[in-house]
Amino acid sequence: MAKELIIEKWSNMVSVVEIGATKSEGGSRSGVIKVGGQGTLPCLFKEGAMPNKPVIASEVWDTAPSDWPDGPVSWAEKCLKENKADLVCLRLQGAHPDLGNKSPEEEAKLLKDFLKNIDLPMIIIGCGDDAKDNLILPACCQIARQEKCLIGSAVSDNYKTITAAALADGHSIIAESPIDINIAKQLNILISDMGLALNRIVINPTIGALGYGLEYAYSIMERARLAALAGDKTVASPFICFVGQEAWRVKEAKAGSLEQGIVWEAITATALIQAGADILVMRHAKAIEEVKKYIDKLWS
């Protein structure tokens, strides 16, 4: 007797968030990236719609390491040429008071150069200091007006300023919560109460690398996705995961061979795809190459 496949039916789906605006839309990006839209749990292709594959963003800092080409723009061009990433993620780490203390004007000028030379959709991340991010991110939002960037990260202590800037200049927001589904939900509600539509919010659940809390982050992402599909629109946002940041700071990635670090980043990324990650922010070209192959094979 043939066994019948049991198909789960869900009442809701994940929001679709668009990143980037082409010339016809008032921007200057080469295309538009769409993430989200799932009508089922990750990779259960026979149960529901999964219209948009996970995408990879190549991470670039505003302060380049000494062994990269001069300047962050050159670094980005090199990364994108080697990595063939879908987006570029510019991290404004040099604005941190302890790491250069760059001014909002300096960061805005850098972003202006980026937009002239890099035409992929962009993610713009602050320095992690809430007070400084409240100054630099609004300045960057204004420079990138109508480019439909993804701006982050909004947290409980600074979401009002960043949300207001995103609303004024047409961007979407990364809402960051500390591996806690209840805080993620509450932050999404607070942001949407200010007038930013839920389909302009991406959740950063804060992850761990392979062997360093990955399983806990996985379970939180799974719980959020189950709640979203069951009808809770306040957590029905795509996920962004900063894979490179987490993978390359663990001792195994740095103490062993370079190949070991690449594998650590790649396996962390593939596990998070199974958890429902929509945007993977990665660093090493080889890890990106392998994960892109994995995504293409899985979605084929």
How many domains would you assign to the chain?
A: 1
Task: Judge whether 165 and 141 are in contact, CB under 8 Å.
Answer: yes
Task: Judge whether 19 and 121 are in contact, CB under 8 Å.
Answer: yes
**Would residue 10 count as lying in a domain?**
no
**Would residue 201 count as lying in a domain?**
yes
**Would residue 11 count as lying in a domain?**
no
**Would residue 6 count as lying in a domain?**
no
Strands (E), the chain: 16-19, 33-36, 55-61, 87-91, 122-125, 150-154, 172-176, 201-204, 239-241, 277-282
CA distance 152 to 163: 10
> What token pair was written down for 129?
């200091």
Check residue 63 and give left, alpha or beta (phi > 0: left; psi -120 to 50: alpha): beta
CA distance 103 to 136: 7
> What token pair was written down for 281?
């922010």
In 3D space, the residue among 56, 60, 55 whose CA is nearest the CA of residue 78 turns out to be: 60
Q: Kindly state the helix (H) or strand (E) to which residue 275 belongs, with its residue range.
A: helix 258-275
Rounded to two decimals, the pTM is 0.95
User: What CATH number is attached to the domain comprising 114?
Assistant: 3.20.20.20
Task: Judge whether 197 and 175 are in contact, CB under 8 Å.
Answer: no
**Would residue 1 count as lying in a domain?**
no
**Would residue 45 count as lying in a domain?**
yes
**Would residue 7 count as lying in a domain?**
no
**Would residue 62 count as lying in a domain?**
yes
In 3D space, the residue among 254, 243, 228, 226 whose CA is nearest the CA of residue 277 turns out to be: 243
pLDDT by 10s per residue, the chain, length 300: 667 778 888 999 999 999 999 999 999 999 999 999 999 999 999 889 999 999 999 999 998 665 555 567 777 777 777 778 899 999 999 999 998 999 999 999 999 999 999 999 999 999 999 999 999 999 999 999 999 999 999 998 899 999 999 999 999 999 999 989 999 999 999 999 999 999 999 999 999 999 999 999 999 999 999 999 999 999 999 999 999 999 999 998 888 788 999 999 999 999 999 999 999 999 999 999 999 999 999 998
Domain of 255 in residue numbering reads as 17-299
- DSSP letters, 39-95, are SSSTT-TTTS---S--EEEEEEESS--TTSPSSHHHHHHHHHHHH--SEEEEE-GGG
In 3D space, the residue among 268, 267, 211, 213 whose CA is nearest the CA of residue 241 turns out to be: 268
